[in-house]
């Protein structure tokens, strides 16, 4: 699996949102985007990561940026997760993991000796022209926000 690098163009995609709209990454040109990938709605690490972006969302917006969260969960699960934790940003449905594959985060994982495919928690910071300016693979939930903010503040 090829990993993306800073300076690469961010792979464009089209996805269903938690509200049922379809968006493209290219719709956000002119703004910076924090695109973060997480394994599953309403699990401890994913909730910690999402809530850290929620708690700093005003600061992110001040830096001309939006947050987009991506997981393989469906629209209904995203809506419940977003409502439960009052998340102010858009969650994208990636049930076929096409976006995760494009960003190199759909990987083989292992738990209790069983191998399976899943999302490696990661985030990408994309500039106004659609170029990657921040790339973090296999990030810990509590490190995702500070790393993304550091790139946005640079």
Do 133 and 151 contact (CB within 8 A), yes or no?
A: yes
Residue 46 is a catalytic residue: yes
**90 secondary structure, DSSP code:** E
Tell me how long the chain is.
154
Closest C-alpha among 145, 128, 127 to residue 136: 145
First to last CA, the chain: 29
Catalytic residue among 34, 46, 92, 148: 46
Cα separation, 94 vs 14, in Å, equals 10
Q: Which residues are catalytic?
A: 46
């Amino acid at each position: 699996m090829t990993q993306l690098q800073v300076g690469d163009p961010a792979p464009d995609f089209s996805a269903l949102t938690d509200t049922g709209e379809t968006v493209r990454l290219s719709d956000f040109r002119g703004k910076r985007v924090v695109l973060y990938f997480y394994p599953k709605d309403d699990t401890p690490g994913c909730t910690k990561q999402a809530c850290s972006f929620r708690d700093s969302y005003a600061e992110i917006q001040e830096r001309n940026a939006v947050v987009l969260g991506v997981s393989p969960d469906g629209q209904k699960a995203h809506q419940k997760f977003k409502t439960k934790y009052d998340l102010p940003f858009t969650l994208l449905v990636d049930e076929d993991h096409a976006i995760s594959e494009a960003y190199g985060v759909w990987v083989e994982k292992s738990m209790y000796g069983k191998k399976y495919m899943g999302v490696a928690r990661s985030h990408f910071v994309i500039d106004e022209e659609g170029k990657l300016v921040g790339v973090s693979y296999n990030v810990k939930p509590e490190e995702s926000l500070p790393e993304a903010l550091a790139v946005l503040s640079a």
